[in-house]
Each structure stands twice: as C-alpha cells, then as structure tokens.
Amino acid sequence: MINFEISPHLEEYRRNIEKQAFELMRPIAREYDEKEHEVPWDYVHKMWGAEKEEVRRQLEDVRREGRIRRDKEFHLKQMITNEELSFGDAGIAFRRGRYGLGGAAIMAVGTQEQKIRFLKKFAEGEPKWGAMAITEPGAGSDTANIGTTAKLEGDHWVLNGEKIFVTNGKMATQEGDGLVVVWATVDKSAGRAGIKSFVVEAGTPGMTVTKVEDKLGLRCSDTASIVFEDCRIPFTNLLGSPEALDKAKTTGFKGAMATFDATRPGVAASAIGVGKAALEFVREVFGKEGIPIKYGASLHHLSAAERDFMDMEANLHAARLLTWRAACLLDDGKPNNLEASMAKAKAGLAVTKVTQKAVELLGPLGYSRSYLLEKWMRDAKINDLFEGTGQINLLIVARRILGFSSKELK
C-alpha cells in the first residue's frame, strides 16, 4: 500500500514551524501588508540565526565533498517549511534574510570555488539577501529575448541592461553583503545558447535600483527594477567553469534552468500554505456558525457550501502531493523537470480558486479588511505568475509528455 503521510519526525517538525508561523508572523501580517516597503526587522533577525547555521553546514559539505550532503528528506522538509511559513504569511516569508533564488542558481551551476566564495557571505554577519534577475521589459516568459548584454573586456565582464520584477532586488543590492544572479547574453545571435548567468555583488558600481513595485499581494515582499550601466564584474563571476563558456549545457540557458527544477516546487508549497490559511479560516467560521463538514456522506446529503469546501480541500491535497513528489524525486537524485512544472501549475491554479471561493463563501466577512482572508486572495494570484506562469508550466508539461521540443510546441 502506498503511504501518502509524512514521517512522524517530519510531522513534529511541521507542527513546530506552524506554531512559529502563528506566533511570529500572523500577528504582524496586516501591519506589513499596509507598510509595504518597510522591513519586519524583528522577524528577520529572529530567523537569521537558523539561516546562517544551515548555510554553514552546506559550506562545510561543499568544502569537504564538493557538493551539499543532504539527508534523505531534505527537499521534502523544505516544502513543508515553505508551506507552513506561507501559512503564517507569504509576504513576510519572502522578506526574511536568505540566499534565495540567487543562491539556488549558484548551487545549481556554480563551481566548487564559486559556491564557497559567494555563499560564505550568508554564513556570517548580519542579515543579507540573494536575488535572481531574469525578467526584462521585453523578455518575460520567452527568455530567448533577453536583451541585457555581457561583454568581455580584459579580465572583466561589462553588463548593460534592465531587469524588472526582481524578488528581493532592493535588499540584495543595498543591504549588507548580498548578491544578484543576472541572466545576460554574450551573443544575441546565438539565442538561448548565448545566455549565461553572472553574479553581481551588492555595492558594485553601475548596478542601480530604479523602482520598488507597489503590488496587489505579497506586499511585504521586496520587488524591484534594476538597471545595469557599464557594470563591471570580475571574469570569475561568470557562473560555471570558464572553460565551458561556449557550452550552453554548463553555464548557459540549460544550466540556469536547472535552478527552477529545485525552486518551482518551493513556490508551489508556498502557494499551498496560502490556500491552507484560507481553507482553515473558512472551516473555523463554518464551525462557529454550526455548519458541519460531513465527510463520508453522499453528495445529495451535502449542502452546496460543504461541496465547495470539499472541492477546495481536494484541490489543495492534489497540489500538495504533486509538490511532495517533485521534492522526493530531487531527494532521490532523479530528474523532476516534468513534476516540478506539474506542481507549480496545479498549485498556482488551486490557490487562486481556493482563496476566491473562500471569499465568496464568507461574503462580507471574506471581503472585509477586518480579517486576513481578502489579503490571502491577493497574495494567492502571484503564485500563478512568477517562476513561470501557469500557461508556461502547462506548456512544459505538454512538451515532456508528448515528446515535443520548444520549437515544435509553442
């Protein structure tokens, strides 16, 4: 028989993170939704110690073995963490100091020396942030259109271009000793094969934050536009082996895309956490109003509200199981490109529908700012957009299942 339950020690871990979310995040969720561009420093500092300790452990593994030595359930544990922190508040969860997508890119395609050099920043000192800059005004889902250029001049790369919607973009460039991983092309005529990843460290001349977004949801999260004007970085800040500069599989598009196979399930888990918060609030209100959820009863014995609730719950369960599968494949050292996109597409759609239905079911209570439900509906939608829109991830799923290339199925 297949067991869909997590192990007892992971369940205990999940309860501890859930408790932390209730105690540290929920009480300040509304405050930092309204104070969009302020940093919840008390929370950031409380979380920073654990973040540093985890990075220290990873760095020791990299120094000793050239890779991170992870326990059997490392990625599954990360999914549980993301879900429960977002159950507390997704915006605040994104705001905490960590190496983020930038660090994930370094771990995916960086050399051993680069992993040690860049990530040891996050194992010491005050809170700092990592970011990854991909999207441009003229290049969203179609990354082949990236226009930011990287030109080699002597022993430096010179970056020019503009990036938008960079998560943690302001914090990574202006606070502490952070970094931004920038996707740029070394040869526009080569298309995706010319795209490489470069590390730009905080404080580098020529990297300027030009805008911090006012957003619908995840308002506590920092989302910025960054301009690169003759931004000079060392040659060794090209991610991957310099000898493989002309090989896209190592330092180019394919290597960089490996980042998303690890991070898309994490975004899916975050979405599920937001949906879980909305669902549990509806359950609580139903209980106070004397509306039972009659599990096991036949459909014609259920009210419309009960059927809607069960449908919402089923969608979240399905998204969670897809997410856990994508994580477990990573834990087993197996490819998860298809499963990562499945999880991301399903979770983004599920949380959007679940939070909207929750507001609908509770009517004025759902619409009122006296409760967090309307906020969760706003927070939900981004999960269907960033790190690959729902449509793009469904396209990836279709290509993998049908065996088509990106040129054959657009």
Q: Point out the residues that are catalytic.
A: 387
Alpha-carbon span 18 to 83, nearest angstrom: 9
DSSP letters spanning 298-316: -GGGS-HHHHHHHHHHHHH
Question: H/E element holding 120?
Answer: none
CA distances from 72 to 7, 51, 86, 103, 226 (A): 12, 20, 24, 21, 38
- What does the angle CA 224 – CA 228 – CA 234 come to, to the nearest 5 degrees? 120
In this structure, is the dihedral angle defined by the CA atoms of residues 125, 95, 181 and 325, taken in order, positive or negative?
Answer: positive
Any residues with CB less than 8 A from the CB of 246 and at least 6 apart, and which? none
Which regions of 28-155 does DSSP assign to beta strands (E)? 130-133, 149-153
Question: H/E element holding 157?
Answer: strand 156-167
DSSP letters spanning 172-200: HHHSTT-EEEEEEES-GGGGGGGEEEEEE
Alpha-carbon span 59 to 159, nearest angstrom: 29
Choose among 91, 117, 94: nearest CA to 106: 117
Residue 25 is encoded by which pair of tokens?
């995040």
> Is 164 in contact with 136 (CB distance < 8 Å)?
yes
Alpha-carbon radius of gyration of the chain: 21
Amino acid identity, residue 123?
A
